[in-house]
Amino acid sequence: MQLFLLKRGGREIYVGPLGYNSCHLIQYFERIRGVQKIKLGYNPATWMLEITTAAKETELEIDFASIYRNSNLYKENKGTIGQLSKPAPGSIDLNFPTKFSTSFFTQAIACLWKQHKSYWRNLTYTGARLFFTTTIALMFGTMFLNLGKNTTKEQDLFNAFGSMFGSVFFIGVQNALSVQPVIDVERSVYYREKAVGMYASFPFAASQVLIEIPYVFVQAVMYSAIVYPLIGYDLNPHKYLWFFCVMFFTLLYFTFYGIMNLALTPNQHIAYVASGAFFGVWNLFSGFVIPKTVSILIQVL
């Protein structure tokens, strides 16, 4: 049995065989000047850890790492490594057809399963998002109660447009900002797992996109089911489906923007600042606050 012993900082102290009852290890350290001999019946592992502490090095004014590098054992290990690093005559180099041990499909399924477990257990994120969606839907639904039935005046239409624009913007911004801390944590895990070759970047990114779709779908269903009848829009299945589709794809757009923004920035704090600037410009020139005709005139001027 071999032992690979390191001190703080990753420097080698002892690399070699243990021997029967750790006899080789004990003989190595007992030959060092000032090291206390092991007591009869004492645990060699405990003794080894006690005599190689930083306090003992200071007390004995020695450096175990330097002693090892100047020892015959170190030279023997280097020679063994040199011999083993040379391929045998006639041998063929290792060759792997792909960088990863599994296919793209298997990687995508594994990443999607991991994301599903992570989202399902993150009640703070998923629960808060659904609660915020329900709250905003009830707030806007009661605030603009039966507003959709009043279509005789131009101002009535602008009020209806304003209710839809405000609700989409509020929930969209909430989605974009709330997803960034979650993705920031997942990105740290991704760096660690990608470094050891577990999966590629694209399956991980694809799983982050796909896992958001069912949750956003539930959001859109909840919001549409509450807001559409409360505001009093036309109870036509075709029109309701259009309303639902607009909400669904708009929320997806905001959520994916939040993920993209975090991916392009070093951390979530910078992503928040960048998102705020984008939301301001998007809100201003979306066609509601500044009408399209006025926006074109501003661009011409």
Q: Report the chain's mean pLDDT, rounded to a whole number.
A: 84
* 285 assigned to some structural domain: yes
| Cα separation, 203 vs 194, whole angstroms | 11
Amino acid 300: pLDDT: 42
* 94 assigned to some structural domain: no
Residues 10 and 131 in one domain: no
* 69 assigned to some structural domain: yes
- Indicate if the pLDDT at residue 260 is higher than 80: yes
Amino acid 252: pLDDT: 92
| 193 CB-near residues (< 8 Å, 6+ apart) | 199
Average pLDDT over residues 110-130: 89
- Percent of the chain predicted with pLDDT > 70: 92
- Indicate if the pLDDT at residue 151 is higher than 70: no
Amino acid 298: pLDDT: 46
Residues 199 and 111 in one domain: yes
Residues 68 and 117 in one domain: no
CB 166 within 8 A of CB 154: no
Print the domain residue range for 286. Answer: 104-300
Residues 73 and 170 in one domain: no
Number of separate domains in the chain? 2
* 90 assigned to some structural domain: no
> For the segment 32-81, what is each residue's pLDDT rounded down to a tens digit?
888 889 888 899 999 998 999 888 888 888 899 999 999 899 999 898 88
Where does the pLDDT of residue 291 fall: very low under 50, low under 70, confident under 90, or very high at 90 and above? low
- Indicate if the pLDDT at residue 13 is higher than 50: yes
Where does the pLDDT of residue 292 fall: very low under 50, low under 70, confident under 90, or very high at 90 and above? low
Residues 155 and 266 in one domain: yes
- Percent of the chain predicted with pLDDT > 90: 13
Residues 65 and 113 in one domain: no
Amino acid 221: pLDDT: 92
Residues 145 and 276 in one domain: yes
Residues 224 and 131 in one domain: yes
Q: Lowest mean pLDDT: which of 33-37, 91-95, 127-131? A: 91-95
- Indicate if the pLDDT at residue 218 is higher than 90: yes
> For the segment 101-119, what is each residue's pLDDT rounded down to a tens digit?
778 888 889 999 999 998 8
Residues 167 and 260 in one domain: yes
Amino acid 294: pLDDT: 55
Residues 191 and 113 in one domain: yes
Q: Please name which of 37, 15, 16 lies closest in space to residue 26, comparing C-alpha atoms.
A: 37
Average pLDDT over residues 14-31: 89
Amino acid 293: pLDDT: 61
Residues 65 and 124 in one domain: no
* 264 assigned to some structural domain: yes
CA 23-4-20 angle, to 5 degrees, is 20
Highest mean pLDDT among 66-70, 87-91, 267-271: 66-70
* Tokens of residue 266, six digits: 């070093």
Residues 159 and 229 in one domain: yes
**137 burial via Cβ count (<10 Å: 0-12, 13-18, 19+):** buried
Amino acid 241: pLDDT: 92
Amino acid 288: pLDDT: 67
Q: Lowest mean pLDDT: which of 125-134, 152-161, 215-224? A: 152-161
| Cα separation, 97 vs 146, whole angstroms | 64
